[in-house]
Amino acid sequence: MSIQMLMPSKQPQVPFVDLGAQYRTIEGEIGEATSRVIQQSDFILGREVSLFEEEFAAFCEAKYAIGVDSGTSALELALRAYDIGPGDEVITAANSFIASALAISHAGARPILVDVDPSTYTVDVSAIEKAITPRTKAVIPVHLYGHPAHMNPIRELADKHGLVIIEDACQAHGTRYKGRRAGSLGHAAAFSFYPGKNLGAYGDGGIVVTNDRGIARRLEMLRNYGQKEKYQHLFRGYNRRLDTLQAAVLRVKLRYLEKWNAARRWNAVLYHKFLDGCGLLLPGEAPGAESVWHLYVIRAEQRDALKEHLISRGISASIHYPIPIHVQPAYLDLGYKKGDFPVTESCAHQVLSLPMYAEISQDQIEYVAKTIRNFLSDRKDNRLVSKTLAKGPSASA
């Protein structure tokens, strides 16, 4: 017997994301755009790539965008474009996806991890300051879950110490900080087009955004064998290009991104409305921050039991991230130990990402909230994380 048959039929199933639902709204346009590329056999650095780069740079209110093969590549190549490598240290958040650190390692530099601020889960600026040494060359603030990092104080620190800022905007397509878009808040910014991101390709993809013309030119060569003109190689570059087919898909989707992000913002408002006062810590927005709600992340002391409760009722909840970077086997050699980053570690035990995507319905959100409330009322005896963050999502979506 399938799980579906065990469920009362009127309960909605709630997937974590629903890329099929999104595809059905743009199927015709995707078909046209991809068949055009195939008919023209314009597969590598084709016209759609340069058009998408122009359009994405404009979306970010920045000058240049260079398409690459993933968000991880975007971070690594941005570091390389600034000549950051062996002997250098780059500071980033311990509470992130591992790619933020991997990109630093792959560029040959040493990742220096720091803890995050407990209200936004983005990097703690005072911790950055303490981690700066004469070897520090750059900082990678991560706009985690779609919420911007505290960029003004980070910029002040970076200016004072001569550091390069590379935004990890892989979860933050369209995020604003004090009115300005992610992508123009540092020296360069890396975005991912992994399918589940707010702007996702039908495969891997990424892009670097910058206002620096010289860095943009270097990145164009870095991603394409270090080539300036055909068969003339100025340095040992890579093959890390964004596929024309993916660029064609992304051009179609970019036209909907504002609308999809507004829907996510509205969905965050609904979650807040239906969960407010339930006793769990709900996500909010810091003053001046406009999140694009890549993820809607709550905190609960009984997180694992709550997750099981939701999954058994047809709701896909997920954990971002269950094992912090500093205790991953891949990074044991950095010498960190359990206890080094208390906020990050408590997040790893308590965070739970609820289903979030533009097409999720109000009924589905209400069902998720109701299922959480049922779980909580069964466990009144348990102590729960019981504060609401500074300010709920603003309803201005």
Binding site for ligand PLP (CB under 6 A): 70-72, 96-97, 99-100, 142, 168, 170-171, 192, 194, 204, 206
Of 170 and 219, nearer to ligand PLP (C-beta) is 170
CB count, 10 Å around CB of 287? Answer: 7
Q: CA-based Rg of the chain, rounded to a whole angstrom?
A: 21
Distances (CA, A) of 114 to 97, 168, 326: 14, 15, 10
Q: Token pair for residue 16?
A: 């974590």
In this chain, which residue has its C-beta nearest to ligand PLP?
Answer: 71
Among the listed residues 356, 63, 303, the one whose alpha carbon sits nearest the alpha carbon of residue 196:
356
Of 136 and 192, nearer to ligand PLP (C-beta) is 192
Could you tell me the smallest distance in angstroms from the CB atom of residue 7 to ligand PLP? Answer: 32
Could you tell me the smallest distance in angstroms from the CB atom of residue 268 to ligand PLP? Answer: 18
Of 168 and 285, nearer to ligand PLP (C-beta) is 168
CA 73 to chain centre: 14
Q: Which amino acid is at 297?
A: V
Of 302 and 353, nearer to ligand PLP (C-beta) is 353
Say if strands 289-290 and 296-299 run parallel, antiparallel, or are unpaired. unpaired
Instruction: Please name the residues in contact with 362: beta carbons below 8 A apart, sequence gap of 6 or more.
Output: 270
Instruction: Please name the residues in contact with 234: beta carbons below 8 A apart, sequence gap of 6 or more.
Output: 221, 226, 227, 228
- CA–CA gap between residue 264 and residue 259 (Å, rounded): 9
Q: Token pair for residue 13?
A: 């199933």
Could you tell me the smallest distance in angstroms from the CB atom of residue 39 to ligand PLP? Answer: 28
Could you tell me the smallest distance in angstroms from the CB atom of residue 70 to ligand PLP? Answer: 4
C-alpha torsion angle, residues 82, 83, 84, 86 (rounded to 10) = 170
Phi, psi of 189 (to 5 degrees): -140, 145
Could you tell me the smallest distance in angstroms from the CB atom of residue 34 to ligand PLP? Answer: 20
- CA–CA gap between residue 217 and residue 207 (Å, rounded): 14
Q: Which amino acid is at 109?
A: A
Could you tell me the smallest distance in angstroms from the CB atom of residue 227 to ligand PLP? Answer: 23
Could you tell me the smallest distance in angstroms from the CB atom of residue 71 to ligand PLP? Answer: 2
